Amino acid sequence: MDDQTPFFEGPFDSDEAADAIAELEESDDIAAAMTEVLDEFVRDNEDYAEEGQVEAALAIACLVAARISGIAPDEVAHHWLDRNPFTVSADLRRLAAVAFDLATRADDNYLSEVRAADWPEFLKHLAPYRKALHGEPQEPAAPFVADHSHPGKQWLQAFWSITDRGLPHGSAYAQAAERLVRAVNESPQWLAWWRPAGLQELLIFGELVPGACSERISRGRTTAEVWIGFGHSPEACGDSVVQQVADDVRTALNAAGRYLGLAAVPSLPAFD
């Protein structure tokens, strides 16, 4: 759980973009915060699209476009929009279109300079966002169909962290959690529970630190994510680490199931 946006893609693939998106998520009025960032970018970058500002503005413009159209080639955009509802006014759409055009111009642009080698491919990737902002027709994305037909293919993945670093793989908690997640992935009963979600993967990001419990869940186009703070450290389990791991994984799966409207979770398989 080191980053609040775990997988960066396309226009969101930079620290500057990630920081700008995280700041938006903390705002009481996301549309107003977007307007402020885009307006500043357009006013200050007419002559040259500066490093830092151009990545942030492009990411925000693409989120506006994805909200308008529902079409986004980047999974992170689907998750972010699921967590953060906002309304796109005519003024915000116009401003996002202007900012997008400035951020993707070929000249006087930091981004086009550092991405010179793949600039045409990058613009092609951004085409659905541009079309949405400018009201151009485009084919809707083909409906996603999950494929769980390959033996041994995982649909559940879990990642554990403590404060700002990953949980050591050799720890008792990590080893027990790995065994349990593998057992769930191999259980036909659990796959039958997951199939109605219509998604490929469920990603659990668990933080093991003392404090209040917390959870944040979102649905993307192909994945669901559960960010959950369990409110205890891995050392607090003592001799009952296997039971604690089972309780934590069940808590995360229950949370995902409620959010996605799935049936009650089955019993966990044996894994010790």
Domain definitions of the chain by residue range = 10-133, 156-260
Average pLDDT, the chain: 93
pLDDT interval class at 7 (50, 70, 90): very low
**Distance between the two ends of the chain, CA-based, in angstroms?**
26
**Dihedral angle, C-alpha 53, 58, 60, 65, nearest 10 °:** 160
Query: Which tens digit of pLDDT belongs to each residue from 24-80?
Result: 999 999 999 999 999 999 999 999 999 999 999 999 999 999 999 999 999 999 999
d(CA 265, CA 168): 28
d(CA 125, CA 254): 36
The pair of structure tokens assigned to 4 is: 């609040």
Note whether 106 and 43 are within 8 A (CB).
no
More confident residue, 6 or 26: 26
Q: Give yes or no for residue 5 having a pLDDT over 70.
A: no
d(CA 50, CA 40): 12
Q: Closest Cα to residue 95, out of 45, 141, 52, 22?
A: 45
Q: Closest Cα to residue 187, out of 254, 127, 74, 266?
A: 266
Strand partners for 161: 166, 207
pLDDT interval class at 153 (50, 70, 90): confident
The pair of structure tokens assigned to 245 is: 């791991």
Residue the block writes with tokens 């903390």: 26
The pair of structure tokens assigned to 78 is: 């689907």
The pair of structure tokens assigned to 192 is: 């039958």
Strand partners for 225: 203, 218
More confident residue, 13 or 134: 134
The b/e string for 216-251 (b: 16+ C-beta within 10 A; e otherwise) is ebbbbbebbbbbbbbebebeebeeebbebbbebbeb
pLDDT interval class at 9 (50, 70, 90): low
d(CA 167, CA 229): 13
pLDDT of 8:
45
pLDDT interval class at 250 (50, 70, 90): very high
